[in-house]
Amino acid sequence: MSQPSSSAVDRLLVDAAGRRPRADARRNVERLVEAARGAVAEVGVGVSAHEIARRAGVGVGTFYRRIPSLEVLLQAVLEEVLDEIADVADRAVADPDAWNGLHIFAAAYVRLRTESCGISEALGGACGDALAPRLADLRERIRHLVERAQSAGAMRTDIAWQDVAFLFAAAATEERTLGLRAGEQQWERNLQIVLDGLRPARSSTLPGTPPA
């Protein structure tokens, strides 16, 4: 399931030119990628080039001299983050304890969806077909983790892996709903409830405190 991956910075530099970039050019691209990751997490995939340039401390002219387009930058950043979560899934598959592997992946995945607005949007299809190969790979990893846990007898077999994809998405949470404020570990509580529901017959102590 694994595929070779490179950093967003390396992809952008290779795409921009076949020659080796100057050190200052690389530094600018690194700053833009870091700024884009933060902006995507906080603002979402609709973030503007001006906002990313501002966060990076460069002008918009520098942005477009170093980056082919806003769309190319956002795709490179989103692919980098999705590659990172795919790496977590691969390590989870390598865990000799199938349930522990699923739990480790689920925690990393739900945390990412909770903390990054843009990744949550991208996983929901906001980027169209641009990320289709990455999403297909991630679906395959989730399927493998679920079926492995079921084969080990650690998970209910009446639940499809597709159900689990939606359950993990549902465990990610907003800060407020119905006038209630989420607890500091709300997504962890949500996920623990989901995981307990996936077990054949077992429950765990919930982390954190209930919403206020």
Give the model confidence (pLDDT) of 61-87 as tens digits.
Answer: 999 988 889 999 999 999 999 999 999
Domain identity same for 84 and 188: yes
Token pair 């990628």 in the structure block, residue: 33
Token pair 């429950």 in the structure block, residue: 203
Going by C-beta distance under 8 Å and a sequence separation of 6 or more, which residues neighbour residue 167? 194, 197, 198
Domain identity same for 88 and 191: yes
- Average pLDDT, integer, range 96-115: 96
Domain identity same for 190 and 134: yes
Between the CA of residue 69 and those of 47, 63, 152, 159, what are the distances in Å? 13, 9, 47, 42
Cα–Cα distance for residue pair 4/79, rounded to 1 Å: 12
Q: Cβ(15)–Cβ(68) under 8 Å?
A: yes
Whether residue 3 is predicted with pLDDT greater than 60 in this model: the reply is no
**What is the domain count for the chain?**
2
pLDDT band at 2; cut points 50, 70, 90: very low
Please tell me the predicted confidence (pLDDT) of residue 173: 87
Token pair 């969806």 in the structure block, residue: 113
pLDDT band at 203; cut points 50, 70, 90: low
Whether residue 184 is predicted with pLDDT greater than 80 in this model: the reply is yes
Domain identity same for 99 and 24: no
Domain final residue pick, 73, 89, 112: 73
Domain identity same for 113 and 178: yes
Domain final residue pick, 54, 73, 92: 73
Domain identity same for 69 and 88: no
Instruction: Please report, rounded to a whole number, the percentage of residues in the chain having pLDDT higher than 90.
Output: 75
Q: Which has the higher per-residue pLDDT, 18 or 61?
A: 61
Please tell me the predicted confidence (pLDDT) of residue 21: 60
Give the model confidence (pLDDT) of 108-148 as tens digits.
Answer: 999 999 999 999 999 999 988 999 999 999 999 999 999 99
Domain identity same for 117 and 48: no
Whether residue 14 is predicted with pLDDT greater than 70 in this model: the reply is no
Domain identity same for 102 and 160: yes
Whether residue 41 is predicted with pLDDT greater than 90 in this model: the reply is yes
Domain identity same for 116 and 139: yes
The CATH number for 66's domain is: 1.10.10
Boundaries of domain holding 12: 8-73
